[in-house]
Amino acid sequence: MRSTVFGMLLLGLVARDAFSQAMPFHTPTAMPLPLAEHALRAFYQRIELGSLLRDGDEIGNPEGARVSVDALPLAAPYGLTGKTTLFLGIPYLRKTFEERAGERRNSGLGDAFVLIKQELLQRDFLAGNRRLALFAGGTLPTGETGDAADPLPPALRLGAGTVTLTGFAVYSHVDDRVGVHGRLGYSGALGDRFGVRPGGRLLYDVGFGYRLLPHAYASMRDATLSAYLELNGALEGRATRDSARLPDTGGHTLFVSPGIQFIPLPNWALEASLQLPVVRELNGTQLAPDWSLAVGARTVFYLFGH
């Protein structure tokens, strides 16, 4: 879950020309960020895990185990140069772990992150743009995990308990009303927590956007309605303890994520996205995600509102 939230925090804020093709909710974009030092993004997400799987097949859940996550991530980019952007962010998390024996909750700040985006390729045309960018950074172990004398159950931990590094490449191609964005990357933990080291994650995403309205802009202040569809996947290796792989960890998940985006003003975007799993090939016996719903807003403060 930490990687899901972290991945969504990486998204930036983009200019109206790029917004007009619809920016995906979960897939990072290589598009440039105007006046990035005056930008902000926030959203609310609900994540539900309630299906018990064994080697990818659903089985009975006699204990009624279920995990619900309410996340309120906040992210802010800062333009260091015309092609280099720094991202800082942290989520507020509320986790609920239910079983027939009872219910437990935990809430607080999760793992903060630091990320740098470096634009490598720029091609601008009358009808659209092409961009290639590299992202590098990581998360800090600021989320509560408990201590050695009283560790929290994994389902209630608010962080990984160790520094995690990540790097990925993003390509964006937009033409008039259509946009395509893709990411390929990897994240891995530098250490362990309570003797367990999380497995590395291979991340891949493809996002498609289409501007529904208007068909053609009459002015830059025209309201815009766009739809997007994403495929968001992760291949996670098994966690290890003393170099021995743990059987009920890791696996492959892939989500299809339809969404909608409304831009009432040139510097504001309102959006929502539903994630549904289409691949849940988890190793051993694990709780699997059932669905996720997110709603949020992005804004760029153009020179104090002008």
pLDDT digit string (tens) for 44-98? 999 999 999 999 999 999 999 999 999 999 888 888 887 898 989 999 999 999 9
Residue range 134-181, pLDDT digits in tens = 999 999 999 999 998 899 999 999 999 999 999 999 999 988 889 999
Residue range 235-262, pLDDT digits in tens = 999 999 988 999 999 999 999 999 999 9
Of 59, 100, 6, the residue nearest 282 (C-alpha) = 59
- Statement: residue 297 has pLDDT above 60: yes
How confident is the model at residue 301, as a pLDDT? 60
Tokens of 299: 């804004």
Dist CA 110 CA 160 (whole Å)? 9
Q: What is the pTM of this model?
A: 0.89
Dist CA 222 CA 260 (whole Å)? 17
Residue range 96-122, pLDDT digits in tens = 999 998 999 999 999 999 999 999 988
Q: How many residues does the chain have?
A: 306
DSSP secondary structure, the chain, as one string = -HHHHHHHHT-----HHHHTT---SSS---S--TTGGGEEEEEEEEEEEEEEEETTEE---TT--EEEEEEEEEEEEEESSSSEEEEEEEEEEEEEEEETTEEEEEEEE---EEEEEEEEEEEE-SSEEEEEEEEEEEE-S-S--B-SSSBPPGGG-SS-SS-EEEEEEEEEEEETTEEEEEEEEEEEESS-BTTEEPPPEEEEEEEEEEEEE-SS-SSTT--EEEEEEEEEEEEEPPPEETTEEPTTS-EEEEEEEEEEEEEEETTEEEEEEEEEEEEEEESSEEEEEEEEEEEEEEEE-TTTT-
How confident is the model at residue 168, as a pLDDT? 97
Dist CA 101 CA 56 (whole Å)? 26
Architecture category of domain 2-300 in CATH: Beta Barrel (2.40)
Q: What mean pLDDT value characterizes the chain?
A: 87
How confident is the model at residue 126, as a pLDDT? 59
Buried b (16+ CB within 10 A) or exposed e, 221-241: eeebebebbbbbbbbbbbbbe
Tokens of 138: 């990581």
How confident is the model at residue 15, as a pLDDT? 42
